[in-house]
């Protein structure tokens, strides 16, 4: 793949996505809930990983993961969250048949996390529609073969980056059939919604399950931008929300925008969705962030750094605007890069800072044993654990007002609302002998390095955490 052609393609994608601009900026209602909450109603700061890409091509659709891996991750980074990949092909191997054995195995892994205090979001992952289109490579994953209809259109082998497969005619056609753009398979979206209902019915009472990410990186095929997001994508989300709410009124539902463009900082046109549960809505917006220069193989340096920094600014503004329109809190569902490249650690810190400013949590891509992840193929730590670890409030007993992060100081201000104690993770670095807190009564769990802080249950609370 020649650079020039690639950049031209990227420019075309930007223009396609640009259709979202106009629709993305008008009519924002004033008050969006800013935080995802746990079952006690505490505001959550989610800090964790996507686990894992290794599930995509695995025959059993399970990630390479052991309980020891989670222990190591916790010990090194104090994470509290996982975006756990599940695959439609494994959930529904033939139309209308749901594989309960697979879901049981997912539940076993969910348990590994919840036993360790983690929140789990189930992410129905897909890239490039499904394994049936690109069966030999690592690229395509997600949809079952029975739901894959390419009409014999070609899918040529892409050399440069896996994302280019999205432009192959066979891949576009598979999506066009799913979204019913062709009119040939009108039942596919309903199948998908029902598959989600089967998942939600299995997991609604499983401890630690925070909610459901309905579709990874939706791609509109031949319908793009605002037309896609307010059209077929919104239709799929409405159908799926309705099905899930029939069985689970409480799980959070995470909605992703069109990935192309929005991943690079362009606006999304995703509309607001009603949540038919009784009580406050539990619908969140879960975009990804992949600055284009890095997607194209550059490092976070020189001109690419400048462009990337600009991307972060756009992303922040446009995400906030969409969240207002949707009246939904934000979760950064994916961001990641090759940690062995120059500038990588700086960018992780910057994005973590950005996610802190927007007040969202984030899930880094990914927990795989490779150069992007925290541990490489030999199990050796990359620079990631050292930059991803920091003191943070895992759960806040009220509505957060501000969180100020420092190397050996953390300040959390919130308006208490009787929901429960505030939990603060404090790493070894900066706090070698543990931590103390001003503004509440704390119990220090040295093994888990968590301060559980009881405060007054109404009014403004300001907690200041310093080393012991």
Residues that bind ligand IDC (CB under 6 A): 53, 56, 127, 138-139, 141, 162, 216-217, 288, 290, 334, 365
The answer to whether the CB of 400 falls within 8 A of the CB of 43 is: yes
Cβ 135 to ligand IDC shortest distance, Å: 12
Nearer to ligand IDC, 38 or 163 (CB): 163
Cβ 205 to ligand IDC shortest distance, Å: 29
CA distances from 267 to 49, 312, 372 (A): 25, 12, 27
**Residue 329 CB contacts under 8 Å (≥ 6 apart), including other chains:** 32, 33, 34, 35, 36, 284, 285, 323, 359, 360
Q: Find, among 74, 30, 9, 142, the residue nearest to 447 by Cα.
A: 74
- The number of C-alpha atoms within 13 Å of 99 and in the hemisphere containing its C-beta is 17
Nearer to ligand IDC, 9 or 417 (CB): 9
CA distances from 4 to 11, 110, 251, 297 (A): 11, 44, 45, 13
Nearer to ligand IDC, 77 or 363 (CB): 363
* Whole-angstrom distance, CA of residue 202 vs CA of residue 209: 11
User: Max alpha carbon distance in the chain (Å)?
Assistant: 66
Strand, coil or helix: 443: strand
Cβ 282 to ligand IDC shortest distance, Å: 23
Cβ 337 to ligand IDC shortest distance, Å: 9
Cβ 228 to ligand IDC shortest distance, Å: 17
Strand, coil or helix: 231: coil
Cβ 351 to ligand IDC shortest distance, Å: 13
**Secondary structure E strands in 62-216:** 81-87, 119-125, 209-213
Cβ 171 to ligand IDC shortest distance, Å: 12
Nearer to ligand IDC, 51 or 141 (CB): 141
Nearer to ligand IDC, 113 or 166 (CB): 166
Q: How many residues does the chain have?
A: 468
Nearer to ligand IDC, 192 or 372 (CB): 372
Nearer to ligand IDC, 92 or 127 (CB): 127
């Amino acid at each position: 793949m020649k650079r020039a052609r690639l950049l031209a393609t990227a420019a075309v994608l930007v223009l396609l996505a640009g259709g979202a601009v106009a629709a993305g900026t008008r009519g924002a209602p004033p008050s969006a809930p800013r935080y995802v909450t746990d079952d006690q109603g505490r505001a959550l700061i989610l800090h964790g990983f996507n686990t894992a890409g290794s599930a995509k091509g695995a025959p059993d659709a399970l990630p390479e993961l052991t309980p020891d891996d989670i222990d190591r991750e916790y010990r090194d980074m104090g994470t509290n969250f996982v975006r756990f990949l599940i695959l439609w092909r494994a959930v529904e191997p033939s139309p209308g048949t749901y594989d309960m054995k697979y879901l049981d195995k997912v539940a076993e892994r969910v348990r590994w996390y919840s036993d360790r205090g983690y929140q789990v979001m189930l992410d129905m992952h897909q890239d490039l529609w499904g394994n049936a289109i690109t069966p030999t490579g690592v690229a395509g994953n997600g949809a079952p073969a029975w739901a894959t209809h390419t009409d014999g259109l070609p899918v040529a082998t892409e050399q440069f980056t896996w994302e280019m497969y999205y432009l192959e005619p066979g891949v576009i056609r598979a999506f066009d059939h799913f979204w019913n753009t062709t009119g040939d398979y009108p039942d596919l979206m309903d199948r998908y919604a029902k598959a989600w209902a089967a998942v939600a019915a299995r997991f609604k009472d499983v401890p630690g399950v925070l909610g459901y990410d309905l579709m990874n990186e939706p791609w509109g095929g031949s319908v793009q931008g605002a037309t896609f997001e307010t059209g077929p994508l919104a239709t799929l989300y409405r159908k799926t929300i309705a099905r899930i709410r029939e069985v689970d009124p409480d799980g959070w539902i995470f909605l992703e925008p069109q990935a192309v463009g929005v991943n690079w900082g362009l606006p999304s046109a995703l509309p607001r969705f009603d949540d038919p549960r009784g009580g406050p809505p539990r619908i969140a917006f879960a975009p990804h962030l992949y600055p284009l220069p890095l997607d194209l193989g550059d490092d976070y340096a020189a001109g690419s750094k400048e462009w990337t920094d600009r991307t972060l600014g756009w992303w922040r503004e446009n995400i906030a605007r969409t969240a207002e329109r949707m009246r939904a809190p934000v979760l950064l569902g994916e961001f990641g890069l090759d940690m062995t490249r120059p500038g990588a650690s700086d960018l992780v810190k910057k994005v973590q800072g950005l996610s802190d400013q927007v007040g969202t949590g984030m899930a880094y891509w990914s927990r795989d044993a490779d150069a992007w992840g925290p541990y490489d193929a030999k199990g050796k730590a990359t620079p990631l654990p050292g930059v991803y670890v920091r003191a943070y409030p895992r759960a806040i007993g009220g509505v957060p007002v501000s969180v100020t992060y420092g190397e050996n100081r953390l300040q959390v201000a919130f308006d208490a609302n009787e929901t429960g104690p505030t939990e603060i993770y404090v790493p070894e670095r900066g706090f070698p002998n543990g931590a103390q807190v001003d503004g509440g009564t704390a119990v220090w769990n040295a093994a888990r390095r968590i301060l559980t802080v009881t405060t007054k249950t109404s009014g403004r609370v300001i907690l200041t955490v310093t080393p012991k």
